[in-house]
Amino acid sequence: MNKPLLAALLCAPLFALPAKAQTHHDSCTTPPCTIIPGMAPIFLYNSLGEQYINAATLASATGLTVPTGATIAEICVETAGVRYRERGLAPSASIGMPAVATSTAPFCFQYAGPLNTVEFIAISGSPTMDIFYYAVN
């Protein structure tokens, strides 16, 4: 028997089977939820709000006002630096993780830790913060 023909006959059953793909199910609280059969998961982020924290507020340890369901925050520090700590431990001007902006360039980062227990404080100067909150879809 011809080798290419034999190979084709042996492989034919593999190509006759339907492809099995993943099915995407949105996580939602009120059905009907979106179901897309045969699609890989689509990870989208839903915006849940924003917050602005001024320099006067950052003179002392300040927590976030987290919308219900938020799991991720995009945080931008402007003008000067702040420090932050989580799990209810208060930061100080010398203790905590620094996030330092300059007068011409903000410092932006994503935070997916415990949003309800993180606190920020100014290191020096007059920093401000812009926070956008998201939930994973």
> Range of 120's domain?
43-137
Counted domains in the chain: 1
Domain of 122, CATH number, reads 2.60.120
Instruction: Encode pLDDT of 62-94 as tens digits.
Output: 999 999 999 999 999 999 999 999 988 999 999
Assess if residue 34 is contained within a domain: no
Q: How far is CA 62 from the centre of its chain?
A: 21
- Cβ 108 vs Cβ 73: under 8 Å: no
Cβ of 121: how many Cβ atoms within 10 Å? 22
Assess if residue 76 is contained within a domain: yes
Surface-to-core class of residue 72, CB atoms within 10 Å of its CB (0-12 exposed, 13-18 middle, 19+ buried): middle
Assess if residue 12 is contained within a domain: no
- Expressed in angstroms, the distance from the first to the final Cα of the chain is 55
Query: What pLDDT, on the 0 to 100 scale, is given for residue 125?
Result: 93
Assess if residue 131 is contained within a domain: yes
- Show the low-confidence residues of the chain (pLDDT under 50): none
Assess if residue 114 is contained within a domain: yes
Query: What pLDDT, on the 0 to 100 scale, is given for residue 110?
Result: 95
Query: What pLDDT, on the 0 to 100 scale, is given for residue 105?
Result: 93
Assess if residue 17 is contained within a domain: no
